A = this chain, B = another copy of it.
Amino acid sequence: MDQLDYFFNPKRVAIIGASRHPRKVGHVIFRNFLEGKFKGEVFPVNPNADDILGHRCYDSVSQIKEKIDLAVITIPAQIVPRAIEECGRKKIKSVIIVTGGFKEIGNIELERDVEKKLKKHGIRGIGVNCLGVFDPYSGVDTIFLPSYKLERPGKGGISFITQSGAIGSVILDWMAMKGYSISKFISYGNATDIDEAELIEYLVRDKKTKVICIYLEGVRRGRTFYELIKKNSKKKPIIILKAGLTAEGSKAVSSHTGSLAGAKEIYGAVFKQSGAIQAHDLEQLFDFARVLSTQPKPNGNRVQVITDGGGFGILTVDALINNGMVLADMRPQTHKLLEKHVPRHVVIKNPIDLTGDTDSERYRIAIEASLNDPNVDMIAVITLFQVPSLTPDIVEVVAEANAKNKKPIIAIAAGGRYTEVLKKSLESYGVPTFSYPDRAAEALRALCEYGKK
């Protein structure tokens, strides 16, 4: 078993600093394990409490008889080294140190002490100064924000490593709302022990992870990082959003984490040479990840657009062309087949305009024809759900075609709450959805480029 597995699949977890007070970090984390999907045992540790939420509380990890796989530390910075000593004596091999107040505010010596003590006992650590881990498969959840403020996404294939806890947490919240899903989330903070390079290596080995997303401010071991990406970028897509690419942004990075950020051009070149996919904003990071984690590699860049709204068709064509794709030219026999099965006012071109009186069946015919036509490499389906005769079973029609995994399919649908409900359903079937054509086209471009590798 991989030592890092204990962070994501522990059987027994100790929460050092578990608390009775609802606003305390140690309370929220303890509750996450109690009330979430975690199926193992969880042990609260706090010398000042007898029991927490009905569970016996321990003065120290040494009092626990059972073997502990993972300790989560949420006590004040000054007493963290002592807690690590105790973990060492208890033979705990993995700790997540949520506590902040180290290097990031000038307490360099204290952080060095933590580092030394981890090494001394052969303990691997995530943190300090981090949110830690969220894994929807195992239920490990060390995010100290309650779920009414910050929802958690469901199970999927995207793993997300983030240097910034705040970025990480709001992204999880946003993903949950959108119906996007995740494999593993890791906020590693100051990287006192485990850093981004080691996490990437682990996620490349991890079977549940289809795509690795990284939010990066600075890199600790530049050369190692580069070699690592280069070695692994063909095995799994690695998508990186680098913050601090402008001189001004770079200055802001150093006051945030103390890491040194480099110039835009250098990073751009490094990413390109190493085979990483660079995202230019947070939405793009997950747009790319959703398409790359769910869709097959396309054979080429010829896209068939299917729409029920002419205007959206045009905007999609513009966006595809601007992103280096071409419009597919269906075979004559496909045209004839469509002519036989759809009403005469349907425009059988590219885009195929099913028009505003379409039903789901017309979509089924058009998607099926596009899947079977060898002149089509990818399918962009625009589903304006609001048109009168389109019923929610359009979701199953698109999902069934997607399940064949024959050609990349994405859906574009703009609107309000009704639309968002149906889009969430599409996402749950592994169909990447977009509100507007531009972002969809950028994601298809990323898929094409990765497909060529």
Residues of chain A whose beta carbon lies under 8 Å from any beta carbon of chain B? 23, 105, 144-145, 148-151, 162-167, 169-171, 173-174, 176-177, 215, 217, 243-249, 252-253, 255-257, 280-283, 308-315, 317-322, 327, 345, 347, 349, 351, 353, 356, 384-388, 414-420, 435-438
Contact = CB atoms under 8 A, between A and B. Distances in A.
Nearest to A164: B311
B166 A308 contact: yes
A182 B171 CA distance: 29
B349 A255 contact: yes
10 contacts: A149-B418, A163-B311, A166-B311, A170-B309, A170-B386, A173-B418, A243-B315, A243-B318, A249-B315, A282-B315
A417 B177 contact: yes
Contact of A312 (B167, B313, B318, B437): B167
A416 B315 contact: no
A257 B388 CA distance: 21
Contact of A281 (B144, B282, B438): B438
Given A163-B311, A169-B386, A416 B176 contact: yes
B151 A417 contact: yes
Given A173-B416, A283-B436, A353-B256, A243 B345 contact: no
Given A309-B170, A314-B217, A318-B245, A415 B256 contact: no
Nearest to A152: B416
Contacts of A309: 164, 166-167, 170
A440 to B, nearest CB: 11
A150 B283 contact: no
Nearest to A390: B149
A246 B321 CA distance: 7
A253 B316 CA distance: 12
A384 B177 CA distance: 16
A56 to B, nearest CB: 27
A405 to B, nearest CB: 28
Contacts of A385: 149
B347 A418 contact: no
Contact of A151 (B319, B416, B437): B416
State the oligomeric state as a number of copies.
Answer: 2
Nearest to A327: B248
Nearest to A172: B416
Contacts of A144: 388
Nearest to A104: B310
A318 B241 CA distance: 12
Contacts of A388: 23, 144-145
B166 A252 contact: no
A217 B353 CA distance: 16
Given A166-B387, A255-B349, A310-B164, A321 B415 contact: no
A173 B415 contact: yes
- Sort A-B residue pairs by CB-CB distance and give the 4 closest, nearest first: A164-B311, A166-B309, A256-B310, A177-B416
Contacts of A310: 164, 166, 252, 255-257
A170 B255 contact: no
Contacts of A416: 150-151, 173-174, 176-177
Contacts of A435: 174, 283
Q: Which among A145, A256, A322 has the greatest number of chain B C-beta atoms within 10 A? A: A256
A217 B311 CA distance: 8
B256 A317 contact: no
Contacts of A245: 318
Given A166-B308, A176-B416, A314 B256 contact: yes
